[in-house]
Amino acid sequence: MGDDQGSDRRGDLRVDSTGTIHPVGRDASQALRAKVGEWSLLRAPPEVVLAVRSGQSGRPLRLAGEVRTPGALCDVVALVAQAGWGGELVVLQEEASRSIFFESGQVVSATTTAPTERLGEILWRFGAVTRDQLDEVVRTAERSGKRVGETAIELEFVGPDELFRMMARQVEEVFYGAVHVAEAMFYLFDRFDEARIVRRYHLSTGQLLMEAARRMDELRFFREKVPSDAWIPVPAPTSVRKAPPELAELFAQCDGRRSVAEIGRRIGQLEFEVTRGVFQLAAAGLVVVTAPRPEGAAAIVETYNRAVVEIHRACDEAGSGRELRSGLEQFAMSTGVYVPLFSGAGPGEDGSLRAERIAQNVAAIGGDEGDAWLTQQLLEHAGFALFQAGSLLPREAEAALNARVAEILRPLKPSEGATPASLIPGSG
């Protein structure tokens, strides 16, 4: 059965000896309830059941199939462009559905349920509105029943010309999202409902396909240095060179605190464009891309735990675990801060702490700068643990441990002017 509500994971069907179809499981039952009516079975091989709605309301189905690899839909879209077909390409994933509308092989519009591709999110991601303005637009639109774009104009957050450009970019982003899916079902109908077209564009399908392919290939390459849009480009401290003119605006936004996504919103570019620019800056030695800094006691403690467990494991393997634990206990007692911080939280035999108890203790003693204060204390404690381990391990084992711990703790490295970087083992 063709299912316009989800992918091939909606549930199972069982056909008994009388030809009666039975849903197996709640998901399948719910999916079939949305299909009340009469259906026409189409000829299909033994391993496929395909049906279309009978009567005047049905649309001719030109193509249908499964997507199992990213970019597989590019061939289907290329066929639409080359044949000059019109109609609607529906792409269904578990988490989102998208429709691309074609006329004479050109893309004229698109719709999506993917949250990041909704018009409001596009306006925010491109920096056309702030998050507070978007929240106001959404609230006002819900009360009035008007569209988000129309409401944004009425509130004077964007002008008609800017909204028109943003809606065109939305169509492009929905297109890229559709052809990049790695697992989905697709259906190509030879007609679409005109009422679903809010604004009509005439975008070259061939050019969109070329850009989609370039993004897919290049993004895989860029991910080696910029794993996600949450990572942070930090100006290289030793670099005195200027960024190329085409990257000057982007480089000016790299302050060591803003993520790729945040920079994109400030300069009106999406993830791919900013990622490409940051990659070029990193390759030129102008920035160093760092992991997003953990926020909240749980994330900070988790990072610390990974490092301190590594230190304990190395010392245990060398037969010096008892000496390490004794030294850490004396260090904690001598400083005065770790007794209340670690109260009821450990450390355990492997050196790890209970994050939920640490969070409670920080709330009581950490003041307004709880995260920064906790990070500093745990970095100091991990630094001493590594120092202590250095006196207990062979030289080669010590060097290898220093490198592993430095990499684990790197996300905790503070911005310029906060906790000294020298507190991070291996950062000097």
User: Does residue 428 lie in a domain region?
Assistant: no
Instruction: Look at 36 and 87; give whichever has higher pLDDT.
Output: 87
Peptide bond preceding 347 in cis form (omega within 30 of 0): yes
- pLDDT beyond 70 at 57: no
115 and 155 in a single domain? The answer is: yes
Q: How far is CA 91 from the centre of its chain?
A: 20
Q: How confident is the model at residue 10 (pLDDT cuts 50, 70, 90)?
A: low
Q: Are 316 and 323 in contact (CB under 8 A)?
A: no
226-266 residue pLDDT tens: 888 888 898 887 656 788 898 999 999 998 888 898 999 88
pLDDT of residue 417: 33
> What tokens does 313 get?
């494991």
Q: Decide if 99 contacts 110 (C-beta within 8 A).
A: yes
Check whether residue 115 and residue 179 sit in a common domain.
yes
What pairs with residue 185 in β-bridges?
66, 92
Q: What is the pLDDT of residue 154?
A: 94
The CA R_g of the chain, rounded to the nearest whole Å, is 28
Residue that is written with structure tokens 């610390």 in the block = 304
Whole-number Å distance between alpha carbons of 91 and 73: 9
287 beta partners: 235
- Mean pLDDT value of segment 13-19: 89
**Cα separation, 100 vs 222, whole angstroms:** 28
- Read off the pTM: 0.61
For the chain, what is the mean pLDDT?
86
Identify the bridge partners of residue 21 per DSSP, sorted by sequence position: 15
How far apart, in Å, are the Cα atoms of 54 and each of 15, 19, 20, 28? 20, 18, 18, 21
With contact defined as beta carbons under 8 Å apart, do 11 and 25 qualify?
yes
- Domain co-membership, 267 together with 135: no
pLDDT (0 to 100) of residue 285: 85
Q: Is residue 33 part of a domain?
A: yes
> pLDDT tens-digit profile of 306-337?
999 999 999 999 999 999 999 999 999 988 88
pLDDT of residue 424: 37
Does position 372 have pLDDT exceeding 60, yes or no?
yes
pLDDT of residue 240: 65
Q: Is residue 22 part of a domain?
A: yes
141 found inside a domain: yes
Is the domain of 375 the same as that of 306?
A: yes
In a domain, 270, yes or no: yes
Domain contains 23: yes
Q: How far apart are CA 422 and CA 173, in angstroms?
A: 43
Query: By percentage, how much of the chain surpasses pLDDT 90?
Result: 47
SS (H, E, C) 9-32: CCCEEEECCCCCEEEECHHHHHHH
Which tokens belong to 411? 């996300």
What would the mean pLDDT of 282-298 be, rounded to a whole number? 83
Alpha carbons 64 and 166: distance in angstroms, whole number? 31
| Residue 222 included in any domain | no
Tokens of 118: 């909704």
**Of the residues 185, 216, 247, the one at which a domain ends:** 216
The answer, yes or no, to whether residue 163 has pLDDT greater than 90, is yes
| First-to-final CA distance of the chain | 62
- DSSP code string of 333-382: HHHSSHHHHSTTT---TTS---HHHHHHHHHHHSGGGHHHHHHHHHHHHH
pLDDT category at 86 given cuts 50, 70, 90 is very high
User: Last residue of a domain, which of 41, 58, 75?
Assistant: 58
DSSP codes, 37-86: S-EEEPP--TT---EEE-STT---EEEEEEE-STTTHHHHHHHHHHHT--
Burial status of residue 12 (CB atoms within 10 A of its CB: 0-12, 13-18, 19 or more)? exposed
The confidence score (pLDDT) of residue 209 equals 93
Asked whether residue 108 falls in the same domain as residue 182, the answer is yes
Give how far Cα 402 sits from Cα of 49, 170, 255, 277, 352, Å: 59, 47, 28, 32, 18
The number of domains in the chain is: 4
Stretch among 80-89, 245-254, 409-418 having the lowest mean pLDDT:
409-418
Mean pLDDT comparison of 136-140, 257-261, 409-413, highest-scoring range? 136-140
pLDDT at 2: 39
Let me know if residue 303 belongs to a domain. Answer: yes
Whether 112 and 147 map to the same domain: the answer is: yes
**pLDDT score at 238:** 65
Q: 45: domain range?
A: 1-58
The one-letter amino acid at 259: S
Is residue 108 located within the same domain as residue 41?
no
Task: Report how far apart, in Å, the C-alpha atoms of 64 and of each of 51, 186, 190 are.
Answer: 11, 5, 12
Residue 267 shares a structural domain with residue 324: no
Shared domain for 304 and 279, answered yes or no, is no
- Residue 205 near residue 96 (C-beta atoms within 8 A): no
Pair (172, 106) in one structural domain: yes
Are 302 and 286 found together in one domain?
no
Backbone phi and psi for residue 138, each to the nearest 5 degrees, phi listed first: -65, -45
Among 122, 83, 119, residue whose Cα is nearest residue 102: 83
DSSP 8-state symbol, 237: T
Q: Which of 216, 240, 268 is the last residue of a domain?
A: 216
Q: Which of the given ranges, 151-155, 197-201, 210-214, has the highest pLDDT on average? A: 151-155
The residues that bridge with 24 in the sheet, in sequence order, are: 12
* pLDDT(297) > 60: yes
What was the pLDDT predicted at 30?
Answer: 84
Residue 187 shares a structural domain with residue 324 = no
Fill in the amino acid letter for 263. Answer: I
Mean pLDDT throughout 102-108? Answer: 96
